Structures are given as structure tokens and as C-alpha cells.
Amino acid sequence: MTLALADAAPLSLDAARAVLRRTFGHADFRGMQAEVIGEVLAGRSAMAVLPTGGGKSLCYQIPALLRPGLGLVVSPLIALMTDQVAALVQSGVAAARLDSNIDPEEKAETWRRIERGELDILYVSPEGLMQGWMLERLSRTPLSLIAIDEAHCVSQWGHDFRPEYRMLGRLAELFPRVPRLAVTATADAKTREDIRAELRLEDSAEFVDSFARPELVLSAERKKGSVEKRVVELVTARSNRSGVVYAGSRDKTEKLAEALRAAGVPALSYHAGLDKQVRAQRLEDFLQADVAVMVATIAFGMGVDKPDVRFVIHADAPAAIEAYWQEIGRAGRDGEMAEGITLYGAADMSWALRRIAEREMDEAVKQVQVRKVRQLYALLDGVGCRAATVRRYFGEEGVEACGQCDLCLGQVETTDATEAAQKALSAAHRLQGRFGRGRLVDHLLGKTKEPSDWETSLSTWAIGPELSAQQWRDLTEQLLFDGLLREDPNDGRPLVGVGEAEAVRAVFRGERRVMMRKHAEGAEDAPRGGRTRRRDKPAAATLGPSDQPLFEALRAWRAAEAKAQHVPPYVIFHDRSLAEIAAAKPGSRAALAAINGVGEAKLAHYGEAVLQVVGTFTA
Ligand code: ADP
Ligand code: ZN
């Protein structure tokens, strides 16, 4: 323990609040932080599911500082550890990491600090931690706690299973007296249960906060025409903002990035096929830049803590609702408005289902994965509030509509299409699943080229003149999403057949209504996601115009400082802190200390410099 706190009992919540203020510069705890910290300070293990940006790290960092001994933090990714350690060091915390990227000399020095009891927090990878020699060395070290970050990785019911996490179950018997804290942002009820069983936390308290992210404005649209063109449109409508575009393949990330650069957007691509150094460089460029767009596969993810990402666009649909929420959740971490826009199509769904079918997994696990895919498309193509659907999916109760997603704003109008659906379903039935979607539509319209006598003799031949070909295509796609039609991949030339029998019968009996989205004429060209929004403003924009020059000057100072130290600008100060400074124009160290995010160490390091910048604008 390096902090002497004379004014509060060492393991009280008051002591924790004092650390929150002095070291991290925050006025008070948020959400469930205080409850979780209280539990760990008392020496008890726990599991905490808090939303992205909810401040999970402080839940273990503060107890690690207050309890005697070294706090171990298990984290799945080096990038994640690097970032957190850099931020802690900026706040004056004795933190280090041990991973395969650290050179032997630095490792030896870290061990010396551990042995002298000088280190408060150590970040390790799961496989690094579970090596025999490491465990042996740590068994001789007093530990304050063991935190397991991104704990959903331990569960194969989750969406990001990592086999090496499974070994962490042994920590319970290896360190029986050390409290363990499992934290994650995304885990449905089943995954939570699994985390507790795997990590031996059955008898521990479980804290599950709301999954609400009120700063996120969600929308989704079916793919129409060129995805590349649409993505360029969406991104250029958001110029001067940082964002992430997720694409389904390496090749696509490269092509999209190129198309964006051609449109004048500073876009980079990122995927696992790139050289390690190139990836590290691009990640750093993205983090350091004021404006950058990263076009990436999901290899770009965990540990991307850039707080000012203003939009996340899925050029291809994500894998499941967990992934959707986590990927979209990378936007707006600073609490300012941000957008999540998803492009999806029935082809994405078929592809996802096919991949599951081909994987070698338990049948039971497969079924869960298939259900997850269906739930995702029910969300994307549904008609109810998107944010509310996600929160209910995670088991939240009493959830209200967000009032700001595309569905809440009524940008998607629906009509009752039950009768048309009955026609399409009987046509698929009569055609015996032998043809693709195009042929089904032609059949309904009586437009099949050179139809056979058999086809024209069917009762469904040409029964659908009331809808256009496009409307029939939309409806067919929707019926696929709903599971009322099913597509057999047939080696890339998918055939359409009737789906779940019970559900189809319900439609025929009129017990189940099919609501279809109304697409206005020319809707494809409307800038659906590009509208301006009331609250959609980055931090700086909330400043008055007269404070803007000071804000820019502070950013310039921060950029230079970050460059000199080789750290991302936001580990020095968040935009939000700089905006507060620009508005408040503190004239003294005491006034500066009152700004959110200015703790003791930052005040000591940067106080003079910041006051000087402010001084040049107030003199
Ligand atoms: P996550 O839960 O996503 O891991 P972090 O721990 O990275 O979230 O915290 C997200 C951001 O919120 C950080 O910038 C952190 O400094 C800030 N933060 C955490 N706790 C508080 C608090 N009590 N008051 C103000 N800001 C906080
Ligand atoms: Zn909504």
C-alpha cells in the first residue's frame, strides 16, 4: 500500500472515495462502482457486469490501491493492458504489465519492484499467469486481489470464448484467501451463470448494472445496392469525426478503406492478416489522431478505448447481440452522443448460420448459437425500439423505449402484409423448395421466363400483381429473417423453402400477423443516417464559440505532450476535461483540481502548463 490516508479507515468506502478524488480526479462513484468496491474491500469475491464506459477498471484498481499487497489484473489483450498501465502511470499509480512484448530487463525490474512491495497493480495475460513458475513466484507475494477482466471470455455460451480463460478456475484453490473480481460488459443470464461456475464464484455477490447507453443513437438498414457506396455516403456525412467501420472480411476492409480515402476520409484498414508491427502502428495512429476512421475486422476490438469514437458502422452484420452491443459500444465512451449504424441482409444471416452448422461443436452449443443469430436479426429487422430490445435480451426488466433510435423516431413505417405473406409462403410451398428467391418473385408476378406447364398450372402462378418485384423481394427477405421461409445454401445458389411449420401455419390461420416495412419511393437515396440531431455534439461543440480557441490551444498542448511521451492524448486528459477547463478557465491550482479528471498526479505534472495555456487567454 503506497497511499497513506490518515483521514479515513483504510478499507472504508470513504477511503475509496478519497482515492477516487485524489488519484483519479472524479467527484463521486458512478452506477454500481461503490457497491462493487465495498464488496472487494471487505475481502469478498464478486462478479460485476457493468456497461462499457461504466468504469469497470476502477472497481478493481481502487481496492488494489487500498488493500495491502499486489493487485493482479488478468486481461486478454496486450493492447488493453498497455493502455490501462499507461493511464495508471499518468495518474501516479505504481502499475506495470508482464507480457510477451516486455523485454527481459524491464521484466526483471518489475519483479524487483514486486519483491520490494513497491508495485500496486500488475497486469498479466491468462496464459502468462497460469505458468508454473509464475504461480510459484506469486505464491510468495502478498496479493490484494485478483481481477479477471472481460470475464465473459471464460464461457463458451458467450460470444468470445477463449480456452486459456478456462484455466483461471484454478485460482480459487491456488489463492483461497485472495478476493477475486470478475468483470465484463456483456453477458446474458446463461453466460453469467457459466462465469460463476467456471470461476468458482457461485457463492459470491453478483452486481449487474443496467445495459443502457443513453448516448448511443442506434439505427440499422437492409443492404440495398452497393454497400461500399453506402458506407462512403454514411462516413462522409460525418466528416471530422472519428469512427470505426466493421467489415466481414480482410479483403473488404482494404477495399472500403481505399474507397474512403478516395473520398477524402483519413481511413486506415486493420485485420489479423496484417503484420504485427503494421497493426500496432495503425492502432497507435488511430488512437493518437484527432480524426481517423478505422475500417476493420473484429480483430480490432477489445482494448480500443479511444473515448471520442463518434460512430461505429457495421458494413456487414455482427455475429450476435452481444457482439453488436460490444462493437457499437466502442462509440461514445466519453459519454457524448455517438451513433451505431448497422447494414445487414439475409445473405449475412445465411452465412452466419452456415458457419455454425460447419463448426465442430456440441449440438447443444450449436443450438444456442443459432438462436443467438436469429435474435440478432429479429433485432435488426424488427420494429420495436432497438436499445430496449438489447437491454431486454440481457435480462433487464422494466425497460422503456429509448426515444432516439430509428425505430423510436418512426423512420421505419410498417404495414400489415399478412395476406401477401400467405401468398409468398404458399408459392414457396408449391414450388417445393426447388428455386431461388428471384424465381419465387417471378412466379408470384407471373413473369418467369419460359415457364413450364407445371409452373403455370400451380394455383400460386401470378397471384401477386399488387406488389412490385422490389416489394416482393423485401417481403421474402423479411420472411427469411422471421424464420417463416428458410434458405438452403445449395453451394452459393440458395433455394427458398418453407420455414418453421408451426409458425407458418399460424400465418395461414391469420393468428400471426406479418408486419412489413414500408419503403417510401426513392427511400434508398434518402440520407437515412445523415440527419442532424439535437444532442449529437462532440464535447467541444458544447462550448461557447468564445471558449473554442482556448479548447483548441489546450488540445494542441496535449498533442505535443502526448507525442513527447509516446502515449495517446486521452491518457493525459480526456476531451471532456479540456472542455471543462476551457469553459471554467481556472486561475489557480485549486480551481484546476476541481475539474473532472484532474487528480493529484496530473495536477502536479501538468498543472503549471495548463494554467499557463489558460493564462494566455485570460490575461
Ligand atoms: P469500462 O467499464 O468500459 O472498462 P473504464 O473503466 O475504461 O470503463 O472507464 C470509462 C471512463 O469513465 C474512463 O475514462 C474513466 O476515467 C471514467 N470514469 C470511471 N469512473 C468514473 C467516475 N466515478 N466518475 C467519472 N468518470 C469515471
Ligand atoms: Zn429506441
Q: Which protein residue has the closest C-alpha to ligand 1 atom 24?
A: 26
Here the cell at position 114 is 514486486
For residue 33, the CA-to-ligand 1 centroid distance in Å is: 10
CA gap 607, 613 in Å, rounded: 10
Mean pLDDT of 418-444: 94
Q: Is the CB of 57 under 6 A from ligand 1?
A: yes
Whether the CB-CB separation of 283 and 79 falls below 8 Å is answered with: yes
Q: Rounded to two decimals, what is the model's pTM?
A: 0.71
**pLDDT tens track for 438-497:** 999 999 999 999 999 999 999 999 999 999 998 898 888 888 877 788 877 676 677 899
Mean pLDDT of 531-544: 47
DSSP bridge pairs for 207: 48
Cite the residue boundaries of each domain of the chain with CATH code 3.40.50.300.
Answer: 13-208, 216-412
Q: Is the CB of 59 under 6 A from ligand 1?
A: no
For residue 489, what pLDDT is reported? 67
* 13-208: CATH superfamily: P-loop containing nucleotide triphosphate hydrolases (3.40.50.300)
**pLDDT tens track for 117-169:** 999 999 999 999 999 999 999 999 999 999 999 999 998 876 778 888 999 99
Burial of 280 (C-beta count, 10 Å sphere; 0-12/13-18/19+)? middle
* 539-618: CATH superfamily: HRDC domain (1.10.150.80)
Cite the residue boundaries of each domain of the chain with CATH code 1.10.10.10.
Answer: 414-518
What's the Cα-to-Cα distance from 178 to each of 11, 166, 528, rounded to whole Å? 15, 19, 52
Alpha-carbon torsion, ordered 368, 374, 376, 381, to 10 deg = -170
Cite the residue boundaries of each domain of the chain with CATH code 1.10.150.80.
Answer: 539-618
Taking the alpha carbons of 266, 269, 270, 274 in that order, is the dihedral positive or negative?
negative
Report which residue type is found at 82.
T
Provide DSSP, 180-194: EEEEES---HHHHHH
Q: Describe the chain by its helix, strand, coil percentages, rounded to 5.
A: 50, 15, 40
**pLDDT tens track for 270-282:** 998 999 899 989 9
Q: Which protein residue has the closest C-alpha to ligand 1 atom 23?
A: 29
Q: Which protein residue has the closest C-alpha to ligand 1 atom 20?
A: 55
Mutate to test the pocket of ligand 1, among 80, 186, 333 (most ligand atoms within 8 A of CB): 333
- Is pLDDT above 70 for 521? no
- CATH for the stretch 216-412: 3.40.50.300
Provide DSSP, 299-362: TS-TT---TTEEEEEESS--SSHHHHHHHHTTS-TTSS-EEEEEEE-HHHHHHHHHHHHHS---
Which atom of ligand 1 has the smallest separation from the CA of 52? 3
* Beta strand segments in 57-202, E: 70-74, 95-98, 121-124, 143-148, 180-184
Q: Which protein residue has the closest C-alpha to ligand 1 atom 4?
A: 56
CATH number belonging to the domain at 414-518, selected among 1.10.10.10, 3.30.70.240, 3.30.70.2740, 3.40.50.2300: 1.10.10.10
CA gap 469, 444 in Å, rounded: 9
Mutate to test the pocket of ligand 1, among 30, 215, 575 (most ligand atoms within 8 A of CB): 30
CA gap 246, 265 in Å, rounded: 16
**Nearest bound ligand to the CA of residue 186:** 1
**Nearest bound ligand to the CA of residue 568:** 1
Residue 436, phi then psi, degrees to nearest 5: -85, -175
CA gap 306, 304 in Å, rounded: 6
Here the cell at position 347 is 445473405
Mean pLDDT of 322-338: 89
Candidates 467, 465, 509, 501; CA nearest to 485 is 501
**pLDDT tens track for 359-417:** 888 887 788 788 889 889 989 988 888 999 898 888 787 788 899 999 888 777 778 89
Taking the alpha carbons of 316, 317, 322, 326 in that order, is the dihedral positive or negative?
positive
Which atom of ligand 1 has the smallest separation from the CA of 50? 2
Residue showing cell 508491427: 277
CA gap 199, 179 in Å, rounded: 12
Mean pLDDT of 186-195: 87
CA gap 244, 325 in Å, rounded: 14
Q: Quickly state the pLDDT bin for 536 (edges 50, 70, 90).
A: very low
Q: Which protein residue has the closest C-alpha to ligand 1 atom 5?
A: 55
Three-state SS letters, 570-617 = HHHCCHHHHHHHHHHCCCCHHHHHCCCCCCHHHHHHHHHHHHHHHHHH
**Nearest bound ligand to the CA of residue 27:** 1
